[in-house]
Structure 1
Amino acid sequence: MESRSKAKHQNGSVADVLRKINLSARNFTVHQEKTLRALSYCRTSALGGHIDACDECGNMSISYNSCRNRHCPQCQGHKKEEWIRKREADLLPCSYYHLVFTLPEELNGLAIANPTLIYKTLFEAAWATLNQFGNTEGIQLGMIAILHTWGQNLSLHPHLHCIVPGGGIDHHGKWKKKVRTDKYLFSVKAMSKVFRAKFVASLRTCGITDRDLMDKLFSKNWVVYAKRPFGGPKQVIEYLGRYTHKIAISNHRIKEVTDKEVRFAYRDYRKGSEKKEMTLSHVEFIRRFSLHILPRRFVRIRHYGILSSSWKRGKLQNLQAELKVERRAFVPKTLFRKCRCCKEGNLVTIAIFGQRGPPQDFLFVTQPLSAK
Structure 2
Amino acid sequence: MSNRAIQNLFFCFSDQLKKTQQPLKNLKAIDALTHCRTPAMGASYYRCQSNHAEVEQLHSCRHRSCYVCAHKQRLEWIEKQKARLLNVPHFHVVFTLPHEYLPVWRYNEALFARILFKASQETLQQLLAQQRHGGVIPGILMALHTWGRQLTLHPHTHCLVTAGGLDANNDWKALGNYLVPSAVIRSVYRGKLQSFIKAAFDEGELILPPTLSVAQFWAMYQGLYKKHWCVRIEERYAHGKGVVLYLARYCKGGPVDPRQLKQMNADTVTMSYLDHRDKRIKQQQLKPMDFITRLLQHVPPTGLHTIRYYGLYAPASKLRYQRSRQQCGTVEQMPSASRVDRLTMVIYCQTCGVPVQLRRRWWPRRSKGNSINREAQSVRVSDSVQNDQ
TM-score normalised by the shorter chain: which range applies?
0.7 to 0.9
Pairing partner for 1:317 from 294, 319, 322:
322
Q: Taking CA–CA contacts closer than 8 Å with sequence separation of 6 or more, which of the two structures ends up with the larger relative contact order?
A: 1
Judging changes above 3 Å, is the alpha-carbon distance between structure 1 residues 148 and 165 closer, same or farther for their aligned structure 2 residues? Answer: same
Bigger mean CA deviation after superposition, 151-160 or 42-51: 42-51
1:273 aligns with 2:246: no
How far apart in 2 are the matches of 1:165 and 1:342?
52
Q: Which residue of 1 aligns with 2:355?
A: 346
Judging changes above 3 Å, is the alpha-carbon distance between structure 1 residues 341 and 101 closer, same or farther for their aligned structure 2 residues? Answer: farther
Q: Which residue of 2 aligns with 1:65?
A: 59
Q: How far 1:265 sits from its partner (Å)?
A: 1.5
Judging changes above 3 Å, is the alpha-carbon distance between structure 1 residues 205 and 348 closer, same or farther for their aligned structure 2 residues? Answer: same
Q: How far 1:215 sits from its partner (Å)?
A: 2.9
List runs of 5+ in structure 1 lacking aligned partners.
Answer: 1-6, 360-370
Q: Deviations over 1:107-162 (max 9, x none)?
A: 11111111011111000000111012111132112210001101121110111111
Judging changes above 3 Å, is the alpha-carbon distance between structure 1 residues 281 and 239 closer, same or farther for their aligned structure 2 residues? Answer: closer
How far apart in 1 are the matches of 2:331 and 2:271?
45
Q: Which residue of 2 aligns with 1:166?
A: 163
1:295 aligns with 2:304: no
Q: Which residue of 2 aligns with 1:134?
A: 128
Pairing partner for 1:221 from 228, 234, 242:
228
- What code does the residue aligned with 1:129 have? T
1:260 aligns with 2:254: no
Q: How far 1:233 sits from its partner (Å)?
A: 5.4
How far apart in 1 are the matches of 2:333 and 2:261?
38
Task: Give the 3-state SS of the residue equivalent to 1:70 in structure 2.
Answer: coil
1:175 aligns with 2:184: no
How far apart in 1 are the matches of 2:153 and 2:118?
20
Task: Give the 3-state SS of the residue equivalent to 1:143 in structure 2.
Answer: strand
Judging changes above 3 Å, is the alpha-carbon distance between structure 1 residues 344 and 236 closer, same or farther for their aligned structure 2 residues? Answer: farther
How far apart in 1 are the matches of 2:315 and 2:60?
30
- What code does the residue aligned with 1:28 have? Q
Q: 1:85-234 residue pairs with structure 2 within 5 A?
A: 85-136=79-130, 137-178=134-175, 181-182=176-177, 184-207=178-201, 210-232=217-239, 234=241
Q: Report if the CA contact (8 A) 2:105-2:112 is conserved.
A: yes
Q: How far 1:350 sits from its partner (Å)?
A: 3.1
Q: Which residue of 1 aligns with 2:380?
A: none
List runs of 5+ in structure 2 lacking aligned partners.
Answer: 207-213, 365-373, 378-387
How far apart in 2 are the matches of 1:186 and 1:59?
63
Task: Give the 3-state SS of the residue equivalent to 1:302 in structure 2.
Answer: strand
Q: Deviations over 1:206-248 (max 9, x none)?
A: 1167322213322321111111111235545544544542522
Bigger mean CA deviation after superposition, 142-151 or 216-225: 216-225
- What code does the residue aligned with 2:311 have? G
Q: Report if the CA contact (8 A) 1:86-1:330 is conserved.
A: no
- What code does the residue aligned with 2:223 have? K
How far apart in 2 are the matches of 1:68 and 1:95?
33
1:33 aligns with 2:27: yes
Root mean square deviation, CA, Å: 3.2
1:337 aligns with 2:346: yes
How far apart in 1 are the matches of 2:252 and 2:80?
14
Task: Give the 3-state SS of the residue equivalent to 1:153 in structure 2.
Answer: coil
Q: Report if the CA contact (8 A) 2:239-2:331 is conserved.
A: no
Task: Give the 3-state SS of the residue equivalent to 2:106 in structure 1.
Answer: helix
Q: Report if the CA contact (8 A) 2:78-2:244 is conserved.
A: yes
- What code does the residue aligned with 1:245 have? K
Q: How far 1:81 sits from its partner (Å)?
A: 1.6
- What code does the residue aligned with 2:145 have? H
- What code does the residue aligned with 1:339 have? Y
